[in-house]
Amino acid sequence: MAQLLKAAASVFCTSGYTGASTNAIAREAGVSPGTLYQFFPNKEAIAVELGDQLLDRWRETYGAAFLPDHLTLPLDRMLDATLDPLIAFNCENPAFPVLMHGSEIPGIITQGHDHLHMTMLTRVETILAGYLPDAPRAEITRVATMIFTLFKAGLDVIMEHEGDEREAYIRELKTILHRYLEPLIRESPSCTPRADSHPNGGQAGQGARTDTP
């Protein structure tokens, strides 16, 4: 089953869900279609099983990304700690975005993803509230939504590249988010030292650049 799911992930990435077939998945796995049907009755069943496994891994990943301890970090290091595991997961599991979006994807997968999306948005709002304790709830929700939108758009670009170019786009995404959030935090009446720039200039790991244009 693991061999078939790995093959399915590869086929979904190259052909998309609609373009994939059980024959192509069996061929990629190096087994006969008859062997595949011993485990899965159709392509949808394969997608649902793979989607469930990926969603479980994603829950573990975002659990590690949105830790309460991250609220004690300066902004640039918080972005590193939060974004790095999320980006790494998507780069290591390119079938995940393929199976989470699209009208042709089995509904049970998209429902699970939508629920997870809302949970993550709430986590982002919680982190923001720690950095912006005086901001109205509506503003926190608005900023969190913008962060989520920027992250998803940046992730699409990151996924289109590999190697050094991918790393460069990761840095660019962090820079965008840092330059969006830093003025909001700096202007907050209750701004605390945890939101200050890191003394090393924000270069921890693949940290955001904090230089001005």
Query: Which residues in 126-141 are b (16+ Cβ under 10 Å) and which e?
Result: ebbebbbeebeeeebb
* Domain assignment present for 160: yes
Instruction: Look up the CATH number of the domain holding residue 73.
Output: 1.10.357
Do residues 24 and 65 share a domain? no
Q: Burial, 188: exposed, middle or buried (Cβ in 10 Å; 0-12, 13-18, 19+)? A: middle
* Domain assignment present for 201: no
Instruction: Look up the CATH number of the domain holding residue 13.
Output: 1.10.10.60
Do residues 75 and 148 share a domain? yes
Do residues 9 and 66 share a domain? no
Measure the CA–CA gap between 66 and 123, rounded to whole angstroms. Answer: 7
What string of pLDDT tens digits covers the 213 residues of the chain? 999 999 999 999 999 999 999 999 999 999 999 999 999 999 999 999 999 999 999 989 988 898 888 888 999 999 999 999 999 999 999 999 888 876 677 777 778 778 878 888 898 998 899 889 999 999 999 999 999 999 999 999 999 999 999 999 999 999 999 999 999 998 876 655 343 433 333 434 445 444 433
pTM for the predicted model, two decimal places: 0.81
Q: Which of 90, 17, 106 is nearest to 57 (CA)?
A: 90
